[in-house]
Amino acid sequence: MPRYKAPVRDMQFILHDVLSLQNYSYLPGFSDASPDLIDQILEGGAKFAEDVLFPLNYSGDKEGCKRNPDATVKTPDGFPAAYEQLVDAEWLSLSADPKYGGQGLPGVVNIAINEMQSSSNMAFSMYPGLTHGAYQALLAGGSEEQKQTYVTKMINGKWSGTMNLTEPQCGTDLGLIKTKAVPQADGSYKITGQKIWISGGEQDLSENIIHLVLARIEGGPEGIKGISLFVVPKFIPDADGNPGERNALECGGLEEKMGIHGNATCVMNYDGATGWLVGEEHKGMRTMFVMMNEARLGVGMQGLAQAEIAYQNAADFARDRLQSRALSGPAAPEKPADPIIVHPDVRRMLMDSRAFTEGARAFMFWTALYGDLLHKSPDDAVRQKAGDYMALMTPVVKAFLTDIGFKTTSECLQLHGGIGYTQEMGVEQYMRDARIAMIYEGTNGIQALDLVGRKLAANGGRAIFTFFKEMDDFVGENADNSDMKLFTDALSDAKKKLEAGTTWLMQNGLSNFNNAAAASTDYVHLFGYTAMAYMWAMMAKTALEKDDGSDPYYANKLKTARYYMERVLPKAGSHLDMLKAGAESMMALEADAF
Ligand SMILES: Cc1cc2nc3c(=O)[nH]c(=O)nc-3n(C[C@H](O)[C@H](O)[C@H](O)COP(=O)(O)OP(=O)(O)OC[C@H]3O[C@@H](n4cnc5c(N)ncnc54)[C@H](O)[C@@H]3O)c2cc1C
């Protein structure tokens, strides 16, 4: 049977030792977050994930969600009780704004808890995950009245949130949205249209569901410039702020899908439902982007989280399964064969997985800390850098972590041999669940276009040039440290490749947009491998400083860092070669030749 153990030790290393959160005690919320308190939160989060959510992962996948004839939806057995525990333990409000009832702790600590919840039960974790994004959008774009009415109840989880963008004819290209909003005399709007694939659109967990819906106000401009955002509650709050009249919206059906069976993916029909404008008319995308950016980081996390649980179970299996003898001679002569962990190709799969999950965790937490700095730093220059980095890193975190996260689950399935392909070991579920993360919240292809088309060039390339300088500075500062040479040489080489890829894009992408688009996915991967090299170099430095021989954790960290530099990072070079080939061969065939 599969198991999950939250990687608390690794999280502590990144939060306390690599990112040194204690140095940020001047920021709101960080002063309360002493290392001891963070450790308590991590331990509590681990217990909840391991003891409450994980036992429902397999059964939730088997049972799935059901739509009742009255259009209500039943989530798998155990989900409502687990949700109640989540609300009671206040896990949802950890890093939320204290003005609306949140605990105001660092967002980066919340990210660690999110990873545990996502690893232990991705389908379940999406219900609170979307609520988090929805109230962030209301905080960014809503009126004070909307914040008071909705956000306080969403922060504690009693009410949940959803995002409604997709329609049958409209996925990536939101300019095609047909759902319409008709202004009413009392300032509200009547919303009519159909949204599809709405995660958590209906469920039996929260007492109200607050839908954020993109729609076009009648008579507004065509295309993306005519889209507005509306808050459309399932139950319209009464004068006391409690769920009141039932709104004219319902779940028209549930999708049968490949994975995340415990999460209700709904067709949502709005039939003249009452909604209220969030922010300005026709400027809905601006606010929705707050939610989408938030959600994109959360989706990147799902890639890491599924890779982590797949890796843990692959490692257990590799120690247990006996097949063949080690090439260097029997490792367990008393047994009929050696455990497969002795075989180099099995080690390759394990080390690739470990190097990814530990590097991705550092990348995720490092990026999340910039999210905190963006919202909380009193220093304009720090906030500017944090904003630049958040914009630049978000598409990389989303696309790279989910692409490689999925590949990692596949390698971990491979490691199990035939039994991995059966349902017995759990790993096939992690692979199915992980697959969606490459598609929703903007497909990874669209993330790549966002990176090369918008994020790189923003403010004259200020973000990427700052990142280049930061890596150069790190290499320079450690030039005299011979123990760091392996890591800084590799980082320096990767950074030069990322610079070469960036220069190539600037020289060849502007004159021929197809060149930029054709290069975009390779560029995301080149960027991702390089950013992870920086994370591994920083972790190696910290491990060298901490390692006094008493705790094998640090020596193991250094061994994995070396593996990453020697056996994973070279992939960056092939992505550079591929992107430099340009668009010509990619676009050469006529469309009817396929
Ligand atoms: C399980 C699940 C849950 C979901 N949850 C939600 C939710 O809660 N709320 C919500 O609003 N939506 C949700 N979605 C929808 C999801 O966000 C969309 O599926 C996604 O944005 C892609 O849109 P699409 O499926 O229409 O694909 P399309 O837009 O039709 O794209 C098809 C392919 O073409 C590519 N493509 C499209 N345009 C371009 C371009 N310009 N350049 C290069 N390539 C391009 C895409 O990358 C993709 O590979 C969910 C989907 C699923 C499956």
Task: Identify the burial level of 115 via C-beta atoms within 10 angstroms of its C-beta, where 0-12 means exposed, 13-18 middle and 19 or more buried.
Answer: buried
- Residue 94 alpha carbon to ligand 1 centre in Å: 31
- Residue 112 alpha carbon to ligand 1 centre in Å: 27
| Nearest atom of ligand 1 to the alpha carbon of 173 | 29
Hey, what are 573's tokens? 């070079």
Q: Is 516 in the pocket of ligand 1 (CB under 6 A)?
A: no
pTM for the complete prediction?
0.97
Q: Is 134 in the pocket of ligand 1 (CB under 6 A)?
A: no
Which residue's CA lies nearest to atom 21 of ligand 1?
Answer: 442
- Residue 301 alpha carbon to ligand 1 centre in Å: 19
Q: Output Rg (C-alpha) for the chain, integer angstroms.
A: 24
**How many other β-carbons are positioned within 10 Å of the β-carbon of residue 143?**
14
Hey, what are 341's tokens? 């962990």
Phi, psi values for residue 164, rounded to 5° = -120, 95
Phi, psi values for residue 233, rounded to 5° = -75, 150
Q: Is 514 in the pocket of ligand 1 (CB under 6 A)?
A: no
Q: Is 453 in the pocket of ligand 1 (CB under 6 A)?
A: no
- Residue 156 alpha carbon to ligand 1 centre in Å: 30
Closest CA to 376 of 132, 92, 68, 24: 24
**How many other β-carbons are positioned within 10 Å of the β-carbon of residue 330?**
12
Q: What angle do CA 265, 267, 269 make, to 5 degrees?
A: 145
Would you please indicate which residues are annotated as catalytic (active-site) residues? 441
Residue-by-residue pLDDT tens, the chain, 594 positions: 899 999 999 999 999 999 999 999 999 999 989 999 999 999 999 999 999 999 999 999 999 999 999 999 999 999 999 999 999 999 999 999 999 999 999 999 999 999 999 999 999 999 999 999 999 999 989 999 999 999 999 999 999 999 999 999 999 999 999 999 999 999 999 999 999 999 999 999 999 999 999 999 998 898 889 999 999 999 999 999 999 999 999 999 999 999 999 999 999 999 999 999 999 999 998 888 777 777 899 999 999 999 999 999 999 999 999 999 999 999 999 999 999 999 999 999 999 999 999 999 999 999 999 999 999 999 999 999 999 999 999 999 999 999 999 999 999 999 999 999 999 899 999 999 999 999 999 999 999 999 999 999 999 999 999 999 999 999 999 999 999 999 999 999 999 999 999 999 999 998 999 999 999 999 999 999 999 999 999 999 999 999 999 999 999 999 999 999 999 999 999 999 999 999 999 999 999 999
How many angstroms separate the Cα of 47 from the Cα of each of 54, 96, 238, 422?
10, 21, 38, 28
| Nearest atom of ligand 1 to the alpha carbon of 130 | 8
Longest distance between any two alpha carbons in the chain, whole Å: 84
